[in-house]
A and B are shown apart, each in its own frame.
Chain A
Amino acid sequence: MSRPGFVLEVDERTPPLLVHAGESFRLEQFPLGTRVVYPPDSLPGIRDVDGAIADALLNPLGRKPLPELLHAGMKLTIAFDDLSIPLPPMQSPDIRSRIIEAVLELAAAAGVDDVELVAANALHRRMTPAEIKHIVGDRVFASFFPEHLRNHDAEDRANLLHLGKTKHDEDVEINRRAAESDLIVYVNVNLAAMSGGSKSVAVGLASYKSLRHHHNVHTLRNSRSFNDPPNSAMHHSYDRMQAVLNEHVQIFTVETTVNNDTFPKNLGFLNKREWEWSLKDQASYVAAKRANDLAPAKLRRKIWHNTRAPYGVTGVHAGDPALVHEKTLANIHRQQLTEVNGQSDIAVLGIPYICPYNVNSIMNPILVMCFGLGYLFNMYRNKPIVREGGALIMYHPMPQEFHPVHHPSYIDFFDEVLSETTDPATIEAKYEKQFAEDEWYRHLYRNSYAYHGVHPFYMWYWGAHAMEHLGDVICVGADRKVATRMGFRTASSLADALEMASDTVGRSPSLTYLHTPPMRLADVR
């Protein structure tokens, strides 16, 4: 039995606590009385993963067993989540490869010849062959790539199909091959409550025309939070789209959840609570910290991005997307939910080196904002961890550094758009269409490895709820010019940040540090 989530109140005996700050980390002494939210201990992984997969496929929820859905002459599309989850990427074999192999074995046994595999990358960058191979495994890659295993192309008009509109007049347009298939098997990994369910096909295989209905400022401001699907306007839109999809194509989803074993053994101290660090953990910290600080920037980045997580699989469920997702959410809550008593004046976040959109890439300032004010701020149920008008303090150096291949439109967004305004609604109204329809960005998205032109806008919208809610955002250790461009303030230390925040929250604020990674979901009462 793993220990549940835990809220520590810092006292005289509390050691300095670990805080991530980009491609670095540090120990920080928090003020007395600070609440520190830890996720539950990592759950034990399933021992017989292949057995669990077989069981899920043969005993699905709300669907016939998969073998009964497969027959000769049918058109089968297997779609799978792209490299944006899990984070860090999973040690081989990736759970998706094991599921895909199992599905392909059943398909082969049923005499299914027409099988296509599609990475559900929506407007994310195309994955490189090596990245695809990591997800699907060597055997599948060798058999299907490149003719029958490819990235979804949300700008390939000839290969998109408009299936209709929801009752809210939202376009549902997805990958033509998938839409015209007799069966879509969707293979998913879940690391956050926002993923999976109706989101998988309706987002992963969609076009901009479809995505713009839920990836917008209004929807995100009314998703409180988007990690709490019943209270997320974004998920309500996904569900409406799923209803349209259900009228046209049968979807058999396979969802998995992983535990909190985020870092490999050599960085095992990063998975632990600090006062439980052994002598070996303390030595590991000192050695890793020293080596990390001394390493040249390129090497440091390479080492971090080569990190693979030894996740254990905590659940495999298959069948009807809605029924499966209920089980998935329960598993996520089991692993991540920590009950927190009330909001605080200030929340503190350490932003790590990776987010869904910089795998094997650079975490540029917009992604830092997105991960802090978007993802981590929204890791709550009921109420945000910080009160309305409160302050958020986040740690990240936030250099003005962009990956020129992966994030070309981000560079222009930062230079051109943010220099004029940081207001999400103004940005959406004035600039989104220009960037979304820019031919060069389209070209780079389709032929290079670039995120779609509109992607930085979505990143900015992810933070729209937090921007509206918070009274102040202070970035510790950040590049002052960059933070200022984004509408934030900078401080050189936590003490300075707290001093600065006193303008907003007074001299004796309550403070909550959200200790992550590993991921946790705060259930704020």
Chain B
Amino acid sequence: MITVIEYRRSPTRFLAARGASARTTGKIGDAVAGSLAPLRLINRPDPRRPGADWGRVRPLLSGICGSDLALLTGRSSPYLSPVVSMPFVPGHEVVGELLDDVGDLRAGQRVVMDPVLSCATRDVEQCPHCAAGHESRCDHVTGGTVAAGLQTGFCADTSGGWGGMLVAHGSQLYPVPEELPNERAVLVEPLSCAVHTVRRAAVPDGASVVIVGAGTVGLLTLLALREFANPGPVYVIAKHGHQRERARKLGATDVLEPKRAARVLRRATGGSLQTPERGAEYLLGGVDVAIECTGGGGLDAALRLVRAGGKVVLSGMPSSVDLTPLWYRELTLIGAYASDSGGGHGSSDFADALSLAGHAPLDGYVDATYPLSGWREAIGHALAAGRLGSVKVAFDPTRD
């Protein structure tokens, strides 16, 4: 038997959490929304290995991602409901200990996991996307030997990082170098998404970029941008003081408060500032590329800050937004989801992220860990991470 945090179907709790997060803000709102989430701490049997190429993994740390929080607070899109299977154990940012020999990996090895449950994990014929190295676009996430699930952490069969054990396919696992501590290794998955985002953005040399948001995704995207592209000035819109400091350390040209961003970018890039009768100011002019990293309202800002003909890259799960700028300014909107093994560029996002995590200045990014039994506090902390000075909050299932 293992202890897990299980997400179950509960329309009542879903709506309650959604209402609480929408109507309350600050510490109380975070605590209430976290407590109302349709989660429960239970004991259940160990997950079954779906095939010989699968191994059991004992999570050592498992991060709480923005997409998890969107789900728990009722802000995720119902669009995704067919590609998850319930009940499931969340947690897809995982560093763990492998309990079985799988392929070249040996039991006892520390591993990180690419959570995408693509064709290779499902024992089905490869879809065209997986064949082309674009596993994150897999068409078969509802078929094969495991239940529907776009990723581990959203699949009823695999368990997830927020439990005492999960199962993972050999193609998902990467050995962690001895010298890489768990606190950095757990960031490899979000870092791989950032690497993927940067590759999807295909930022031209010297192009100006604004990163909207400086939480985990925004900061790691900045890190990946400096590592895998050659942009011109990179501006980061950050809400909190500690985020601004970290962004500067990671090489931001300038760090902007949200309410000042439009004016500063106008000064920096030229053009003019327009003030509509309703809604936020926008630029005629602006940056070449905007990368939305808030998983929320940042998309609206991104659309308003990019120049005509520029690119807007969507790194987080979007919220509803006025798409007039997309039409009027003839922008290119690019989605960037998870990571892949190469596609057109021929380089694995995950492997590159693992390598980058080895030398990037990521110490201190995971500054709060909770046992599974402290899930309410953990979720509350993660919801308020920016305000509380944290970047990444994680579960440590070994403490239960």
B275 within 8 A of A: yes
Chain A stretch 429-465: residues in CB contact (< 8 A) with chain B: 434, 438-440, 443
Q: In whole angstroms, what is the CA distance A170 to B271 when docked?
A: 32
B23 within 8 A of A: no
Closest A residue to B266 by beta carbon equals A440
What total of chain A residues lie within 8 Å of the partner, measured CB to CB? 11
Q: In whole angstroms, what is the CA distance A160 to B271 when docked?
A: 25
Q: A109-117, A320-328, A410-418: which one contacts chain B? A: A410-418
A506 within 8 A of B: no
Q: Is the pair A412, B263 in contact by a Cβ cutoff of 8 Å? A: yes
Closest B residue to A443 by beta carbon equals B272
A404 within 8 A of B: yes
Q: In whole angstroms, what is the CA distance A416 to B235 when docked?
A: 14
Q: In whole angstroms, what is the CA distance A361 to B260 when docked?
A: 22
Q: Is the pair A416, B270 in contact by a Cβ cutoff of 8 Å? A: no
B69 within 8 A of A: no
B202 within 8 A of A: no
Q: Is the pair B264, A416 in contact by a Cβ cutoff of 8 Å? A: yes
Contacts of B260 in A (CB 8 A): 415
Question: How far is the CB of A19 from the nearest CB of chain B, in Å?
Answer: 33
Chain B stretch 265-312: residues in CB contact (< 8 A) with chain A: 266-267, 270-273, 275
Q: In whole angstroms, what is the CA distance A280 to B150 when docked?
A: 81
Q: Is the pair B272, A440 in contact by a Cβ cutoff of 8 Å? A: yes
Contacts of A440 in B (CB 8 A): 266, 270-273
Q: Is the pair B263, A411 in contact by a Cβ cutoff of 8 Å? A: yes
A412 interface neighbour in B267, B270, B271, B272, Cβ under 8 Å: B267
Question: How far is the CB of B320 from the nearest CB of chain A, in Å?
Answer: 28
Q: A404-B275, A443-B272 are in contact. Are A438 and B263 (CB under 8 A)?
A: no
Q: In whole angstroms, what is the CA distance A443 to B284 when docked?
A: 13
Closest A residue to B257 by beta carbon equals A415
Closest B residue to A431 by beta carbon equals B267
Q: In whole angstroms, what is the CA distance A438 to B272 when docked?
A: 10
Q: Is the pair A415, B264 in contact by a Cβ cutoff of 8 Å? A: yes
Q: Is the pair A438, B267 in contact by a Cβ cutoff of 8 Å? A: yes
Q: Is the pair A439, B270 in contact by a Cβ cutoff of 8 Å? A: yes
What total of chain B residues lie within 8 Å of the partner, measured CB to CB? 10
Contacts of B273 in A (CB 8 A): 408, 440
Q: In whole angstroms, what is the CA distance A439 to B285 when docked?
A: 12
Chain B stretch 219-268: residues in CB contact (< 8 A) with chain A: 260, 263-264, 266-267
Question: How far is the CB of B357 from the nearest CB of chain A, in Å?
Answer: 34
Contacts of A443 in B (CB 8 A): 272
Closest A residue to B284 by beta carbon equals A440
Closest B residue to A404 by beta carbon equals B275
Closest A residue to B260 by beta carbon equals A415
Q: In whole angstroms, what is the CA distance A408 to B262 when docked?
A: 13
Chain A stretch 392-418: residues in CB contact (< 8 A) with chain B: 404, 408, 411-412, 415-416
Question: How far is the CB of A18 from the nearest CB of chain B, in Å?
Answer: 37
Q: In whole angstroms, what is the CA distance A408 to B266 when docked?
A: 12
Contacts of A411 in B (CB 8 A): 263
Most A C-beta atoms less than 10 A away, residue of B270, B271, B272: B272
Closest A residue to B275 by beta carbon equals A404
Question: How far is the CB of B254 from the nearest CB of chain A, in Å?
Answer: 9
Chain A stretch 300-327: residues in CB contact (< 8 A) with chain B: none
Question: How far is the CB of B256 from the nearest CB of chain A, in Å?
Answer: 10
Question: How far is the CB of B143 from the nearest CB of chain A, in Å?
Answer: 54
Question: How far is the CB of B255 from the nearest CB of chain A, in Å?
Answer: 12
Q: In whole angstroms, what is the CA distance A54 to B252 when docked?
A: 67
Q: In whole angstroms, what is the CA distance A434 to B270 when docked?
A: 11
Q: In whole angstroms, what is the CA distance A294 to B218 when docked?
A: 46
Q: In whole angstroms, what is the CA distance A68 to B271 when docked?
A: 52
Contacts of B263 in A (CB 8 A): 411-412, 415-416
Q: In whole angstroms, what is the CA distance A140 to B196 when docked?
A: 68
A416 interface neighbour in B267, B271, B272, Cβ under 8 Å: B267
Contacts of B271 in A (CB 8 A): 440
Q: In whole angstroms, what is the CA distance A412 to B263 when docked?
A: 7
Q: In whole angstroms, what is the CA distance A440 to B265 when docked?
A: 13
Contacts of B267 in A (CB 8 A): 412, 416, 434, 438
A467-498 vs B, Cβ < 8 Å mask (1 yes, 0 no): 00000000000000000000000000000000
Question: How far is the CB of B210 from the nearest CB of chain A, in Å?
Answer: 16
Q: In whole angstroms, what is the CA distance A434 to B266 when docked?
A: 12
Question: How far is the CB of A252 from the nearest CB of chain B, in Å?
Answer: 41
Q: In whole angstroms, what is the CA distance A412 to B264 when docked?
A: 7
Question: How far is the CB of B264 from the nearest CB of chain A, in Å?
Answer: 6
Question: How far is the CB of B276 from the nearest CB of chain A, in Å?
Answer: 13
Contacts of B264 in A (CB 8 A): 412, 415-416
Question: How far is the CB of A445 from the nearest CB of chain B, in Å?
Answer: 13
Q: In whole angstroms, what is the CA distance A186 to B260 when docked?
A: 43
Q: In whole angstroms, what is the CA distance A439 to B267 when docked?
A: 10
Contacts of A404 in B (CB 8 A): 275
Closest B residue to A415 by beta carbon equals B260
Question: How far is the CB of B279 from the nearest CB of chain A, in Å?
Answer: 15
Chain B stretch 341-372: residues in CB contact (< 8 A) with chain A: none
Closest B residue to A419 by beta carbon equals B260
Closest B residue to A444 by beta carbon equals B272
Contacts of A416 in B (CB 8 A): 263-264, 267
Contacts of A415 in B (CB 8 A): 260, 263-264
Some 10 contacts from A to B, beta carbons below 8 A apart, are: A404-B275, A412-B267, A415-B260, A415-B263, A416-B267, A434-B267, A439-B270, A440-B266, A440-B270, A440-B273
Given A416-B267, A440-B266, 7 other A-B residues pairs in contact with their CB atoms under 8 A: A411-B263, A415-B260, A415-B263, A434-B267, A439-B270, A440-B271, A440-B272
Nearest 3 A/B pairs, CB to CB = A440-B272, A415-B260, A412-B263
